[in-house]
Amino acid sequence: MNDKDILELKNMIDINNIPNHVAVIMDGNGRWAKKRSLPRTVGHQEGMKRVVEIVEVAKKLNIKYLSLYAFSTENWKRPKEEIDGIMKILVYYIRNELEKIHKNNIKIQIMGNINRLPKTPREEVLKAVEKTKDNTDMVLNIGLNYGGKDDIIRGVKNILKDIKMGKINEEDIDVELFSNYLYTKNMPDPDLLIRPSGELRLSNFMLYQMAYTEFWFSDIFWPDFKEEHFYKAIIDYQKRNRRFGGI
């Protein structure tokens, strides 16, 4: 697509109906690399470049919450070299981008148990969260060792703890209270989920939070995902009739 076509697409977006929270399952890095006879890690590197771009595009569109699935609780099943590669790329990304993210008033949040990450990525992640904690323009919420089932179970355990300590009563538990025990506390549910790579599934991403999320799937691999695809997803989203169970 040339610049003129991209601009035309961008102009089709209704700025009064921008999704507040967009979630992305960044999938297809490995197949993108395989198609080019490159190591899978090169696919992850290329995918990281798309992260940099998409964060900027989302910020410019005034999206308030952007959730990115970077590493799942099931991704530990992969070969050690690939996991090490992903962790290295994560560290590289934070070291290179943190200053810019901070200047752009973006707050980095993590969902997932980062205690299982190796020391360097864990420390870099904590540094990024601490540095950006008071930023207010956009929340960049990154799923790292994240699983939707794990999110829910962790929430249940913390609720039980608080009941035992007398902080809350069993009768207090409702949808709103439960939401505050998830990694996404203080965040609205995603309005739009984007999943490239051709897979039509959630792969354990934000199971509780996606009860009424609009899904947008595409066959392209994440390293090929550009600004124009993001615009297309939003334009499609704006055509949806969201009923939330009503009429």
Please identify every residue annotated as catalytic.
27, 75
Q: Select from 20-28, 36-44, 168-176, 180-188 the region that touches Mg ion (CB under 5 A).
A: 20-28
Per-residue CA distances from 91 to 33, 72, 98 (Å): 21, 17, 10
Q: Select from 4-12, 26-34, 97-105, 167-175 the region that touches Mg ion (CB under 5 A).
A: 26-34
C-alpha–C-alpha distance, residues 146 and 205, integer Å? 8
Select 27 or 150, whichever has its Cβ closest to Mg ion.
27
Q: How many CB atoms lie within 10 A of CB 236?
A: 14
Judged by CB under 5 A, the residue of 9, 18, 21, 27 near Mg ion is 27
Binding site for ligand IPE (CB under 6 A): 25-31, 69-72, 75, 86, 197, 199, 201, 203
Which residues are registered as beta bridge partners of 144? 71
Q: Are 82 and 41 in contact (CB under 8 A)?
A: yes
Residues 6 or more apart in contact with residue 158 via CB below 8 angstroms: 181
Least distance to Mg ion from the beta carbon of 164, Å? Answer: 40
Select 40 or 107, whichever has its Cβ closest to Mg ion.
40
Instruction: Give the nearest residue (CB) to Mg ion.
Output: 27
Of residues 40, 115, 120, 46, the one with CA closest to residue 81: 40
Contact of residue 31 among Mg ion, ligand IPE, none (CB under 5-8 Å per partner type) = ligand IPE
Binding site for Mg ion (CB under 5 A): 27
